[in-house]
Amino acid sequence: MGLDEFDRIKKYFKPLASAERGSLDLLDDAAVLPIGSDSELVISTDALVEGIHYVGDEDASLIAQKSLRTNLSDMAAMGAAPWAYTLSLILDPLKKCSADQWLDSFVAGLQIDQNKYDVRLIGGDSVVGAGPTVISITIIGKLNNKGPLVRSGALQNDDIYVSGTIGDSAAGLQVIKGSLDFLDFSDQIYLKNRYYLPQPRVALGLALVGLASAAMDVSDGLIQDMGHLCSASGLAAVINWPNVPLSPPVITLLESKSISISAIINGGDDYELLFTAPSILRPDIEELSKKTEVSLTRIGYMTEGADVLLMDKENQLISLAGAGFKHA
């Protein structure tokens, strides 16, 4: 079995970036490049592959919005204001005959989110390939003078927070596949939308600069992404499962044993913000939650060590199958 995404980056690409301070050793959601003496740009690239990162039979407008929003989530995780992006589009050859119709819808989706998040396309490339459709976006953001949020800043005894709710997207994918059709129709629509249209926490990310000690977004599953933050900060984490925020439909699925804790915690595609902050800032975090109208839940704390420990209500370790979403 070959190396996974993160091991490939560490073995092959990290040495190429080691001499550039702005690369942050390829540990974070984006790179930071200085422009002049008092300004910095944040740059991130993400690719979505049909059949892996999105189903493929959804409306092209939804595919476009998800592609842009996953990149916007990286900006949020770095505490950057989105500015502009480039797009590389490799079309499935089977779409060649109906490309105009597909692209009309795709561009309409991009236009919706360009207006919503005040970001603009500035260039890119478009070709027809030999395999599934691949959408790659490079996004550029601007930092304020307080600097970026990074994964490596967590300190021992810092609180761990997550925004929104966890596991909705993983459940939504199961709804799309038809395995949870017993749910109320409104719950099915909610969960599917959480998969199709993630909510990048851009305003929250900007507001966390100066409060959070470390941050990243949850794209590959809460436990795996917490592990990345722990590795970058040289610490371990204790996550209290009863405190992990869940939506009512996911609670229903959990109680009926239609979805497992592992699927919720490892499913990925949540695109919520995971961050740490000193316990003395708890009142500030509560106030920020009210100000941004985004729920922020304290789910654990940082400690000595190198593992992510998920504890039940009896403070017993929960053993999980799998370690999060793999990009292969």
pLDDT (tens digit per residue) in 172-221:
999 999 988 899 999 999 999 999 999 999 999 999 999 999 999 999 99
Spatial CA neighbour of 35 closest among 26, 24, 22, 19: 22
Q: How many CA atoms lie within 13 A of 206 on its CB side?
A: 13
Which part of the chain is CATH 3.90.650.10?
151-311
Q: Return the higher-pLDDT residue of 107 and 32.
A: 107
Angle among Cα 234, 239, 242 to the nearest 5 degrees reads 175
pLDDT at residue 26, as a whole number = 56
Q: How many CA atoms lie within 13 A of 122 on its CB side?
A: 10
The per-residue pLDDT for range 51-103, each reduced to its tens digit, is 888 898 899 999 999 999 999 999 999 999 999 999 999 988 766 557 788 88
pLDDT at residue 193, as a whole number = 96
Query: Cα separation of 32 and 148, whole Å?
Result: 8
The per-residue pLDDT for range 27-52, each reduced to its tens digit, is 655 667 667 666 788 889 999 999 88
* Burial class of residue 222, CB neighbours in 10 A (0-12, 13-18, 19+): buried
Query: Cα separation of 247 and 267, whole Å?
Result: 15
Tokens of 313: 């209500």
Which part of the chain is CATH 3.30.1330.10?
5-142
57-71, 133-147, 152-166, 238-252: which has the minimum mean pLDDT?
133-147
Taking 70 as the threshold, does the pLDDT of residue 2 lie above it? Answer: no
pLDDT at residue 185, as a whole number = 94
The per-residue pLDDT for range 242-251, each reduced to its tens digit, is 999 999 999 9
Tokens of 91: 């079309």
Query: Cα separation of 264 and 286, whole Å?
Result: 25
Q: Return the higher-pLDDT residue of 117 and 322.
A: 117
CB 135 within 8 Å of CB 63: yes
CATH superfamily of 5-142: PurM-like, N-terminal domain (3.30.1330.10)
- The per-residue b/e assignment along 13-35, b for 16 or more CB within 10 angstroms, e otherwise, is eeeebeeeeebbebbbbbbbeee
pLDDT at residue 328, as a whole number = 44
Coil, strand or helix at 281: helix
CB 217 within 8 Å of CB 208: no
Cross-strand partners of 50: 54
CB 202 within 8 Å of CB 82: yes
- Classify domain 151-311 by CATH number: 3.90.650.10
pLDDT at residue 126, as a whole number = 86
Please report, to the nearest 10 degrees, the dihedral formed by the alpha carbons of residues 25, 27, 30, 36 taken in order. Answer: -30
pLDDT at residue 325, as a whole number = 43
Pairing of strands 120-128, 81-91: parallel
What is the chain's mean pLDDT, rounded? 88
13-17, 146-150, 162-166, 300-304: which has the minimum mean pLDDT?
13-17
User: What stretches of 79-236 show up as alpha helix (H) in DSSP?
Assistant: 99-117, 168-176, 185-196, 202-208, 222-233
